[in-house]
């Protein structure tokens, strides 16, 4: 038991961050973390030095997060204007991480998953298409849409704050 607790204490912060990125709420992220760690402890004998241990655990966390959505049918309303490319630049310093996290959680599930996997966790479109069972084209367009939504939101807030500070 002690060894398991030690492992938890060492890695829970990093892995909880992963959970937060992939979930649509704080509550869901907590559930994910629990399930992921139970899986990690159960499967630990299967880890055979294939790459970094932290990476192995992270993959389990991501899989646990994705499994939640596997059985959902996807009826997402696609708004055409999300396909347009945004234009303005934004002052990075002013945007807090919490806000970025919040808007990621607000994304439709599929967009969020693809964005996280491609941009933050280094999966290729091919790998994403295999894991999520979608076509590579869908993966690419989901990514584009995710980027646009995020950009729009950031800009909207930024313009608001800029307006206020003037």
Partner 1 sequence: MEEKKYIDRLYQEKFKDFEASPREEIWQKISVKLQQEKKEKSILLPFWKRTAGVAAILSLFIFLGEWLNPPGQTPIVNNESEKIDNPKSETSLTTVDVPKISTPTESTNGNELVQAEEIRQVRRDFISDISSISALGISEYSSFIEAITTPLPKEEKAPELNRDPVLSLTEDTMKPLFEEEQSTSEGVRVIVSTHAGPIYYGNLKRGSFLDPKFNNNSTESEVTYSYGFNVAYPLTEKLKIRSGLSKVTMSHNTNNIAVYSGGNPVAIANVVFEGNSVPKVEAAMNKKEPPVTGISYDRSPLSTSSMGELNQRIGYIEIPVELEYSLLEKKININIIGGASTLFLDENTISLSSASTPTTTGEANNLREVSFSTNIGLGFDYDLSEKIKLNLEPMFKYQLNTFDAASGNNQPYYLGIYTGFSYKF
The single residue among 28, 127, 144, 157 that binds partner 1, judged by CB under 8 A, is 144
Q: State the helix-helix crossing angle for 97-106 and 136-165, rounded to 10 degrees.
A: 130
Q: Which helix (H) or strand (E) holds 20?
A: helix 2-22
- Asked if 11 and 54 count as a contact pair (C-beta separation under 8 A), the reply is yes
DSSP for 86-99 reads P-----GGG--HHH
Applying CB under 8 A, which part among 64-72, 73-81, 84-92, 158-166 lies near partner 1?
84-92
Which is closer to partner 1, CB of 81 or CB of 166? 81
Q: Is 155 among the residues that bind partner 1 (CB under 8 A)?
A: no
DSSP for 102-153 reads HHHHHS-HHHHHHHIIIIIS---HHHHHHHHT--HHHHHHHHHHHHHHHHHH
Which is closer to partner 1, CB of 37 or CB of 123? 37
Q: Is 44 among the residues that bind partner 1 (CB under 8 A)?
A: yes
Residues that bind partner 1 in the complex, under the rule CB under 8 A: 1-10, 12-14, 16-17, 20-21, 30, 33-34, 37-38, 41-42, 44-45, 53, 85-87, 89-90, 92, 95, 97, 100-101, 104, 115, 119-120, 144, 147, 150-151, 154
């Amino acid at each position: 038991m002690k060894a398991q607790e030690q492992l938890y204490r060492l890695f829970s912060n990093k892995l909880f961050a992963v959970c937060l990125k992939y979930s649509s709420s704080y509550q869901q992220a907590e559930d994910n973390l629990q399930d992921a760690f139970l899986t990690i402890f159960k499967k630990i004998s299967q880890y055979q030095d294939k790459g970094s241990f932290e990476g192995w655990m992270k993959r389990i966390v991501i899989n646990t997060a994705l499994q939640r959505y596997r059985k959902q049918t996807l009826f997402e309303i696609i708004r055409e204007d999300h396909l347009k490319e945004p234009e303005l630049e934004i002052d990075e310093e002013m945007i807090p991480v919490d806000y970025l996290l919040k808007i990621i959680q607000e994304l439709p599930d599929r967009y969020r998953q693809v964005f996280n996997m491609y941009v933050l966790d280094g999966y290729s479109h091919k790998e994403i298409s295999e894991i999520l069972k979608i076509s590579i084209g869908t993966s690419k367009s989901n990514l584009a849409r995710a980027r646009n939504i995020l950009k729009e939101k950031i800009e909207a807030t930024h313009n608001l704050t800029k307006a206020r500070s003037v």
